[in-house]
């Protein structure tokens, strides 16, 4: 196995270009956030002043500057997660491996961290995020690698992968005022493979979603159907994963 073209086993020099935030909630006891990040960063060989400067910058980036002198044991779960991220980015790595990076964070913390991850990616860093919470992954990227029991089951853009799953027609839910009227118009369409009528809308199953979405506005306009919502319940990572592994 190689990372950045180099073997990973017993190749410590590679770690200058790699940052890693592990999943486990593990720390050296009794240390403050600053002492912990500084201690780990000192292993990269920076002079003490440079180590401290980088540690402070990383803590600031993770919004932990005010809590830098507090013991990690007194941090909330979200703060502990962020201090782990701080040690991962403090040496400005080229590639970041983040294992469940949003675990334990509150909604604000999640939003902040997702924004940061996107910023790091935009700045040219490669970021590999491992997560079981698939909608979180979707909020960061559309480029995914789905792994089930150690085997890769899909790779690429989530929407493209969804297109390729032919066994499961796409589900499209149209919320409208008169579902029966709309259903009666759609039932004869060749691209419609199935249909389910609800009180507040119609769920259509189609194997040609692009064609369906192309023709749908004409019917809506012609019949003056008042559509309030249009959803694709299975055009997401979780649904793709479920289809692929079940």
Partner 1 sequence: MNPLNAVFRLSLAVLVKSRRTLMIGILCFMPVLGSIFGTAFMMSGVAQQELTGFSLTSFIIVNGYVHVLLLVVTLFYGTALVSDELEDKTITYLLVRPVSKSTIYLGKYLAYLVAASLLLLPSAALCFLISMAADPPGESSRHVPILLQDLGVLGIGIVAYGALYAVIGAVAKRPVFVGLAFTFIWETVVTFIPGYLSKLTIKHYLSALLPHAVSQRGIIGFFESATSPVTAVVVLVLATAGLLALGAWVFTNREYVLEQ
CB of 11 to partner 1, least distance (A): 9
Q: What is the DSSP letter of 169?
A: P
CB of 210 to partner 1, least distance (A): 43
Tokens of 75: 């941090």
Q: Which is nearer to partner 1, 48 or 190 (CB)?
A: 48
CB of 215 to partner 1, least distance (A): 51
Query: Is 90:16 a contact under the CB 8 Å cutoff?
Result: no
Label residues 152-174 b or e (16+ Cβ within 10 Å = b). Answer: eebeeebeebbeeeeebbbbbbb
CB of 94 to partner 1, least distance (A): 13
Q: Which is nearer to partner 1, 13 or 166 (CB)?
A: 13
Query: Is 237:160 a contact under the CB 8 Å cutoff?
Result: no
Q: Which is nearer to partner 1, 49 or 218 (CB)?
A: 49
Expressed in percent and rounded to 5, the helix, strand and coil fractions of the chain are 45, 25, 30
Q: Which is nearer to partner 1, 74 or 211 (CB)?
A: 74
Q: Which is nearer to partner 1, 15 or 232 (CB)?
A: 15
Q: Which is nearer to partner 1, 5 or 12 (CB)?
A: 12
CB of 46 to partner 1, least distance (A): 7
Catalog residues that contact partner 1 under the rule CB under 8 A: 10, 12-16, 18-20, 22, 24, 26-31, 35, 39-40, 42-48, 51, 87
CA distances from 133 to 104, 129, 145, 153 (A): 12, 11, 13, 17
Q: Compute the distance between CA of residue 233 and CA of residue 93 in angstroms, rounded to an integer.
A: 38
Q: Which is nearer to partner 1, 29 or 107 (CB)?
A: 29
User: Mind giving me the DSSP string for 82-144?
Assistant: HHHHHHHHTT--SEEEEESTTTT--HHHHHHHHHHHHHHHHTT-EEEEE-S-HHHHHHH-SEE
CB of 27 to partner 1, least distance (A): 7
CB of 172 to partner 1, least distance (A): 40
CA distances from 116 to 12, 36, 125 (A): 27, 21, 12
């Amino acid at each position: 196995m190689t990372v950045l073209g180099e073997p990973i086993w017993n190749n410590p020099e590679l770690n200058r270009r790699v940052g890693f935030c592990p999943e486990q909630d593990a720390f050296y006891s009794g240390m403050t956030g600053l002492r912990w990040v500084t201690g780990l960063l000192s292993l990269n060989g920076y002079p003490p002043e440079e180590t401290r400067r980088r540690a402070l910058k990383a803590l600031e980036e993770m919004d932990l500057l005010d809590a830098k002198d507090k013991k990690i044991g007194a941090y909330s779960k979200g703060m502990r997660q962020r201090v782990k991220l701080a040690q991962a980015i403090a040496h400005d790595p080229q590639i970041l491996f983040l294992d469940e990076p949003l675990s334990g964070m509150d909604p604000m913390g999640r939003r902040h961290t997702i924004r940061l991850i996107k910023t790091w990616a935009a700045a040219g860093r490669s970021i590999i995020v491992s997560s079981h919470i698939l909608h979180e992954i979707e909020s960061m990227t559309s480029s995914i690698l789905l792994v089930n029991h150690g085997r890769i089951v899909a790779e690429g853009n989530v929407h493209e992968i969804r297109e390729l799953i032919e066994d499961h027609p796409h589900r499209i839910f149209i919320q409208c005022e008169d579902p029966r009227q709309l259903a009666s118009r759609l039932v004869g369409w060749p691209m419609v493979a199935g249909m389910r009528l609800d009180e507040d809308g119609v769920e259509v199953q189609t194997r040609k979603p692009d064609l369906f979405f192309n023709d749908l506005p004409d019917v809506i306009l012609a019949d003056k159907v008042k559509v309030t919502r249009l959803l694709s319940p299975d055009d997401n990572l979780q649904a793709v994963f479920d289809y692929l592994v079940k």
